[in-house]
Amino acid sequence: MASVGGGSKDTLSLNLNPMLDIFSILITFLLMSFSSDPVSHDVDAGIELPQSTTIVALDEIPSIIVTKTEVRVNDVKVADIVAGDVPEKDRSQGAVYPVFTELKKLAEANKRLAKTVKADDPTAKGSTGALTMEMDKGHRFKLMKRIMIAAQQAEFVQFKLMVQKELN
C-alpha cells in the first residue's frame, strides 16, 4: 500500500485501478497500430505524401528524397529546388545532372552486387533494380520527369513512388 510518511500516523492509499485501465487501453491501441511492414521509414518532416489506396507496402528505404527545397540521393543533398524546379546550372538535356552522377554510382554498385549474387550463372547480367522515390505532393510532374530522366540515363527503369496509404 502506498503511503505518505511523516509525523502523522494517517495512511493515504492511492487507487491505482484507473491508471491500470488507461494503460490497458493504451496498450490495446498501440498493439493494434503495431506495424508488421517489412520496412519502417520515417517520412521526412518537410514532405507531405499524396494519398493512395494502394495496399503494396514499402519494402526498401527510399534512395531519392525530394523535399520542398532540395533533392537528396541516399541522404546526400545533390541539388537545390528553387521555385519548384532545379536551377539551370544543374540541368542537362531535361535531366538533373547531379542526380544522374549519383545514381550512376548506385547503379554500378547494384550491378556488381547482382552479379556476385548470381556468380554461378556466367550469362547473368547485373540488374540495377528498382528505385524508391519519396516526393512532396506539391511538386509538379516537370520536376519528377527531370529526376526520372536522370535515373533512366543511369539505367534505372523501375520506380517505386512513395504514397501515404489511406486509412479506411
Partner 1 sequence: MSRKKKRRSLPYKDVELNIMPFIDIFSMLNTFLLFSAVFLSVGVLDVQVPFLSNQPPPDDPKDSRVFQVFVDVTKEQVEIQTSYTRAPEQLQKFPFPSNSDGIKLMHQKLAEIRKQNAGTDKATVTSDDEVTWESLAAVLDGVMLRLEGDPIFPPAKDAKNKERAELDAKIYLYPKIVMGSVMFK
Residues at the site binding partner 1, with contacts judged by CB under 8 A: 1, 16, 19-20, 23-24, 26-27, 30-31, 33-35, 37, 40-41, 43, 49-59, 93-95, 130, 132, 135-142, 144-145, 148-149, 151-153, 157-165, 167
CB of 165 to partner 1, least distance (A): 4
CB of 5 to partner 1, least distance (A): 17
What are the contacts of 81-86 at 24+ separation with CB within 8 A?
81/139, 81/143, 84/139, 84/140, 84/142, 84/143, 85/140, 85/142, 85/143, 85/146, 86/143, 86/146
**Quick count: other Cβ atoms within 10 Å of Cβ 53?**
8
CB of 35 to partner 1, least distance (A): 4
Nearer to partner 1, 7 or 136 (CB): 136
